[in-house]
Amino acid sequence: MTSIFMAVVLYIVGNDQLKGFGISLTLGLLISLFTSLYMTRLMFDLWQARGWLKKLSMMRLFGRPDIDFMGIRYYWFTATVILTIFGMVVFIGRLPNDLNIDFVGGTAYGGQLRADQERDTEGYRALFDDHRQKILLKAEVTEVAGTDGHTFLIKYKNQDKTTTDPRTVNLANKAVGETPELRAQDVKDRASVLPDWSVELIFSSTHKSAAGNKSVLFNVRSSEKEAELVQVVLDRLLQDEKGVPLLKRCG
């Protein structure tokens, strides 16, 4: 009943994906309860009434289980402690890579592609592929004078050796570096990659697709904390081979 109550809450307050999960969870629990409580009892009553159930035996792994488990408990206590310490060392040694943006911070971006650009999960991953990033995210960055490391102009190099129009990025936190050149290099490094990215599709009843595994709605997560910098990088990556934006523009 506790799990069913949780499923009801998910259905009431959740989005379309959570609503579907809530319905599936509730139906699964109800069917499981019906099967385990009613059908099992019914089968046993039927077998007993018809005389089919003569003997109810259980499978045994050991004919005579006389293993002295308590006698070897100290060996297992020692092994448990060693494995626990080993796991903690490995986990702490890999920090902060073990944690996602919910713990270390970052940016979550929700977007919508044009109606003719719906994609499945692999299609979205191809847009943010590391090889594609190396090709498209060749940035040229200069600091705007007098902004003390907070405002920068970013241009990207095209394959025909031209550059895109400069985009102004305002950082909430000052870029790293004592001189404008060093700060520009810091922003250039960050504008040349979308770090620790992950993408997920969003399915909505208002944006139904003929192909059930495709959607125009998506979420992208990155460990980069500057939202405007993430926006510039995504605007660059979310375009086709001709440089036409794939995102649906409002207005």
Which tens digits make up the pLDDT trace of 129-167?
A: 999 999 999 999 999 999 999 999 999 999 888 999 999
Cα first-last separation, the chain: 47
The DSSP code sequence of 4-61 is HHHHHHHHHHS-HHHHHHHHHHHHHHHHHHIIIIIIHHHHHHHHHHTT---------S
What residues have CB less than 8 Å from 217, skipping those under 6 apart? 110, 111, 112, 201, 202, 203, 204, 207
Which tens digits make up the pLDDT trace of 207-238?
A: 666 567 888 999 999 989 999 999 999 999 99
Which tens digits make up the pLDDT trace of 156-205?
A: 999 888 999 999 999 999 999 999 999 999 999 999 999 989 898 888 77
Provide the pLDDT for residue 159. 84
Give the rounded distance of the alpha carbon of 234 from its chain centre: 17
Which tens digits make up the pLDDT trace of 68-123?
A: 888 889 999 999 999 999 999 988 887 766 666 767 788 999 999 988 889 999 99
* DSSP element (H, E) containing 74: helix 73-93
Provide the pLDDT for residue 179. 94
| pTM flag (> 0.85) | no
Residue type, position 41, single letter = R
> Locate tokens 């007993």: which residue?
48
What residues have CB less than 8 Å from 203, skipping those under 6 apart? 16, 17, 209, 215, 217
Which tens digits make up the pLDDT trace of 108-126?
A: 999 999 888 899 999 999 9
Give whole-number Cα distances, 54 to 38, 39, 60, in Å: 21, 20, 19
